[in-house]
Structure 1
Amino acid sequence: MIDTDERVTPELRQAILKVLDAPQRGAIYSIARRNYFLGRFMRHSGWYPDRVLRLYERARYRYNDNLVHESLDSLGAEVIPLTGDLLHLTCRDFAGFQQKQLAYAAAWALERHQKGKKTSMAGIFSHTLGAFLKTLLLRGGVLDGKQGWLLAMVNAQYTFTKYTELWALSHGYSEKESS
């Protein structure tokens, strides 16, 4: 499965063709995704190698029902990494990217709220600060230059929005639950 904002590199194409010539029964193949953000393909920041499971036997595996970032249920499967990159043109338009982030944050919060999860003001602050520091320092965002700093701030903003929406839902300040 390839999304409309993804492109296969020649090296990845060769690796896929090799697998198709001799597939390993029951195996799932992971692909390194290289994410594009504000004019550059990120090399750090937790955005590379953003490995995704995309080549598998459709009759054997299914995607879960997560509202945000659904993933393949691969419990017990052998996961084999492929060479080559899948180029992910995730942020060519920042306003569109932000709109998508807002929608993901609202869906994330609603999913957690429906499971009885809550947060506090301290939780909002600590998760937001943690997201910034994790992206910038622990995941090497500082090595991605200006885009790394911006991505750290965007990740912090996304985290702030997720947890604030969860807080609003749990305090009855959001109409998302009734829609």
Structure 2
Amino acid sequence: MSYPKTKISALVITYNEMGYIEKCIESITFADEIIVVDSYSTDGTYEYLKIHPKVKVIQHPFANFTAQKSFALKQATNDWVLFLDADEVVPRKLREEIVETVNGNTEHVAFWFYRKFMFKNSVLNFSGWQTDKNYRLFRKSKAKFSDKKIVHETLNVDGTSGILKEKLTHYCYKSYEDYKSKMLKYGRLKAKEAFYRENRFNYFSLIFKPAWKFFHHYILRLGILDGKKGITISYLNALGDLERYRELKKLEKKNELAYYLVMP
């Protein structure tokens, strides 16, 4: 007896992703539907997606990563969801493993993917990313994004999880300015997250947390073995931490000013 093929919805969120999104979309055309939620790109991303024959693109304002991904998840019509970042690519062997997995009566409801990090077109072997893994394949009915984090979102899974053998390719570094912009954006979002949790700014964190981040990635996580690439990645990750605490200080000052303005 033959059974019907399990359908997969591929989901991506985008904002100004030309140079990344083309490879990503090409690698997921095996999915039964591709839905992209775009937060009003200005670099041609939306226009590219709009004319792509296999893509349904929806424009939706960006509040934070968790909210945007939760909105995208609601658009999927199939239970099995493959959720990628716009700078990620699914290699052929991983595509085959995904299809075999969802059609194999698996008991797991979600799967972790290990990622191979690319610095431009060369592999970043160390610098803290060698053991990185993320949820990328899961059943919509058994998972949802936690509203407790607004960046580096967390997936809450109701059931058991597995790990796929093949790695996802992550084109994390296109150029210095592009990666720097990402790290600063993440830093500001993490500051908002900390502010909402009522975490207070202190100068110890401002000075020592970025230094520790660099030391951790470059020395403890062997970024030194990645040569100049390791220095660059470790520095920019530390810069993101520095921005986090600078932004937290600004948010607290704004909040204090607003408080004094409304006092009788």
> How many Å apart are 1:22 and its aligned residue?
0.8
Displacement of 1:39 in angstroms is: 4.4
State the 1:6 CA deviation.
Answer: 1.1
Partner of 2:238: 156
Matches within 5 A, 1:60-71: 60-65=142-147, 66-71=149-154
| Conserved? CA contact 2:114–2:132, under 8 Å | yes
1:56 to 2:135 alignment: no
The answer for the alignment partner of 1:5 in structure 2 is 87
Percent identity (aligned) = 25
Q: Tell me if the contact between 1:29 and 1:56 (Cα under 8 Å) persists in the aligned partners.
A: yes
Deviation for aligned residue 1:7: 0.8
Match of 2:209 in 1: 127
Alignment partner of 1:34: what SS?
A: strand
Deviations 1:36-93 (A, max 9, x none): 224422111111232111111111111123221212113x632211111111112213
Superposed, 1:133-144 pairs within 5 Å as 133-144=215-226
Query: Between Structure 1 and Structure 2, whose CA radius of gyration is higher?
Result: 2
Residue 171 of structure 1 aligns with which residue?
253
How many Å separate the matches in 1 of 2:159 and 2:224? Answer: 35
- 1:43 is the counterpart of 2:125: yes
Alpha-carbon distance between aligned partners in 1 of 2:129 and 2:227, rounded to the nearest angstrom: 14
CA contact (8 A) 2:179 2:236 kept: no
Alpha carbons of structure 1 residues 16 and 127: separation in structure 2 relative to 1, 3 Å = same
Aligned to 2:181: 99
Paired residue type of 2:182: K
2:155 maps to what in 1? Answer: 72
Amino acid at match of 1:42: L
Q: 1:33 to 1:116 in 2, by over 3 A?
A: same
Structure 2 unaligned spans of 5+: 1-82, 258-264
CA distance in 2, matches of 1:95, 1:174: 33
Q: Is the 8 A contact 1:5 1:89 kept in 2?
A: yes
Q: TM-score, normalised by structure 2?
A: 0.61
> How far apart are the structure 2 equivalents of 1:49 and 1:174?
41
SS in 2 for 1:2: strand
Q: How many residues align?
A: 174
Query: 2 CA distance for matches of 1:4 and 1:123?
Result: 32
Give the 3-state SS of the residue equivalent to 1:45 in structure 2. Answer: coil
Cα distance in 1 for partners of 2:159, 2:125 equals 28
Task: Report if aligned partners of 1:141, 1:152 keep a CA contact under 8 Å in 2.
Answer: yes
147-156 vs 33-42, greater mean Cα deviation:
33-42
CA distance, structure 2, for counterparts of residue 87 and residue 163 of structure 1:
31
1:173 and 1:72 mapped to 2: Cα distance?
A: 31
Contact 1:68–1:108 (Cα < 8 Å) also in 2: yes
Larger strand percent: 2
What residue ranges of structure 1 are gaps of 5+ in the alignment?
Answer: none
| Residues 4-23 of structure 1: pairs in structure 2 closer than 5 A | 4-23=86-105
